[in-house]
Amino acid sequence: MAYIEIEHIDLVYNSSDRAPAGAGTLAVSQANLSIEENTFVSLVGPSGCGKSTLLKLISGLVRPSRGTVRIGGEEVTRPQKNIGMAFQNATLLPWRNVRDNVLLPLEIVEPYRSDGNMEVKRARADELLGTVGLSEFGDRMPWQLSGGMQQRAQLCRALIHSPSILLLDEPFAALDAFTREDLWSVLQDLWRVRKCTVILVTHELREAVYLCDTVHVMSARPGRVISSRDILLPRPRTLEMTFEAQFVHLVQECRHHIGMGKAA
């Protein structure tokens, strides 16, 4: 059994016991997905196909209408504590400095909240900030950081409690191309040092191929996984590799499957 198992999942939004039959929006239908522990995978596909919905199902933030989600063999029935999340917008609290923003999960997630050793917690935050090139910015406020620096801080916040799963929902979509590509390398290095299972939602196919072990392509809504492509490029990957024929072929292959999914 894989570490994360999504089996025959249907999810209908805006439905209720009182709603008439057929009411609501079928976001995903008969979705199946298996993810091995400590791998880096991505979900790609047309807008509205249910990529972010699968992240919510895995995190336990929403329950499926039908089907089962399992992590480590246990069915997901409530929000999971062993998960870190990062989104398109950094959502750093403007009244807290960067270090305190990174520390936020340790203040609200048990058992870390009950551990009062703040010196150890601050050292952990400073260590993480150092790994992403922000060692001198812990005392700065979020508005004093560029967009790319804020996203680095957000990654640190998502990893501060050493989650076993990291869910990334288009974390670099709002950034310029140069900053985005720079953060690909940052994220790759973070994952190689702090192994966990990473699931990345992205519309950028180069990003998916650069970062991931496997790219899962979803169909148009109601979404389901229609293709899974292992990326066997050596690591660590470099930006120079993105111009090589093998890399370009993988990107085009993923694009082809997305086109097929739109037509299905």
- DSSP code of 243? G
Q: For residue 110, is pLDDT > 90?
A: no
Q: For residue 106, is pLDDT > 50?
A: yes
Average per-residue pLDDT for the chain: 92
Q: What is the mean pLDDT of residues 32-46?
A: 97
Closest CA to 71 of 199, 208, 193, 231: 199
State pLDDT tens for residues 16-29: 544 444 568 899 99
Distance CA 250, CA 240 (A): 15
pLDDT of residue 180: 95
State pLDDT tens for residues 146-178: 999 999 999 999 999 999 999 999 999 989 999
Neighbours of 8 (CB within 10 A): 13
Cβ contact 32:8 at 8 Å: yes
CATH architecture of 4-82+164-263: 3-Layer(aba) Sandwich (3.40)
Instruction: With cut-offs at 50, 70 and 90, classify the pLDDT of residue 114.
Output: low
User: pTM of the prediction?
Assistant: 0.93
Domain with CATH 3.40.50.300 in the chain: 4-82+164-263
Distances (CA, A) of 64 to 26, 36, 68, 76, 236: 11, 21, 7, 10, 37
Distance CA 171, CA 156 (A): 13
Least confident stretch, 2-6, 12-16, 73-77, 248-252? 12-16
Q: For residue 112, is pLDDT > 90?
A: no
